[in-house]
Homo-oligomer: A and B are copies of this chain.
């Protein structure tokens, strides 16, 4: 990558240049610490948002996530908002769309001036992915996107991490899959603030009603969220837009609730602190990898690997 002028890139982002925004996110996702530093320099130059929405959306494959997110995204734009959509997992519908060259995925939404869609970088560790997604959120917000949706695939690990950088968690489900709350699903349900039963238009009415009852019943047995918010469920369909306005209303109701009881501010501060810890560890890891390249551990057949490690550490300064 050629020499990048952080101030110029920041100015372009402020002016709504989405190529510049993409480039800054790429910098943040880079495994090189100089690029991350540069991304932070850009973030530092941009206006900060204190009232953005950071929404995690998850659901297992086949639940209709792309169609749902496109439908929700369009509705959000109609409300005069600007929406950015980020995918975390390499296997999420956003990324899959881009890998398979499936142009129809969110094509309508992608054409909107007030929407920004970004498939994830698939490299890096899980921890790394969240660090970088956190930066991507900051960059999108700085570029004026007041609503940021983070899509994950609903297999457990990424959800836990994404939960640590968002305000609100929406879980998509299909009718007829709500009875047994076990394992990963239970873990995700515990994180969820809103449950959207999708594709209600394609299932029999009885099945849909049962699904709703099942969910309401299951939710009783889950521990109360730290925000004190009571989990709510909605029946709808991303495809025909059913339930989307109601969901948006509930999202706004949720934000009002957490603004008022001060959870919003408290949670964001805790998340920032935790993120700082992740950065600190990332920086230490980077330094370690660099030191190891410059001064490899020397082979010594007379001692154990553990002693080799300790001797090496005694000769290094990793502060």
Which residue in chain B gives the minimum CB-CB distance to A275?
A: B305
1/0 per residue, CB under 8 A from B, across A171-207: the answer is: 0000000000000000000000000000000000000
Is A277 a contact partner of B297 (Cβ separation < 8 A)?
A: yes
Instruction: Kindly identify, within residues 282 to 314 of chain A, every residue whose CB is under 8 Å from any CB belonging to chain B.
Output: 282-285, 288, 292, 297, 299, 301, 304-310, 312-313
* Chain A interface helix/strand/loop/mixed: helix
Is B134 a contact partner of A318 (Cβ separation < 8 A)?
A: no
A308 to B40, CA, bound (A): 12
Q: Which residues of the other chain, B, contact A284 by a CB distance below 8 angstroms?
A: 284, 288, 313, 318
Say whether A240 faces chain B, with CB atoms less than 8 Å apart. Answer: no
Q: Which of A36, A40, A281, A304 has the most CB of B within 10 A?
A: A304
1/0 per residue, CB under 8 A from B, across A267-284: the answer is: 001001101111111111
The complex is assembled from copies of this chain, and their number is 2
Q: Which of A44, A288, A305 has the most CB of B within 10 A?
A: A305
Q: Which of A36, A280, A297 has the most CB of B within 10 A?
A: A280
Our pick among B272, B280, B308, B316 for the contact of A272 (Cβ within 8 Å) is: B308
Q: Which residues of the other chain, B, contact A305 by a CB distance below 8 angstroms?
A: 134, 272-273, 275-276, 279
Q: Which residues of the other chain, B, contact A36 by a CB distance below 8 angstroms?
A: 306
Q: Which residues of the other chain, B, contact A318 by a CB distance below 8 angstroms?
A: 284, 318-319
A residues with a Cβ closer than 8 A to B are: 36, 40, 43-44, 134, 138, 269, 272-273, 275-285, 288, 292, 297, 299, 301, 304-310, 312-313, 316-319
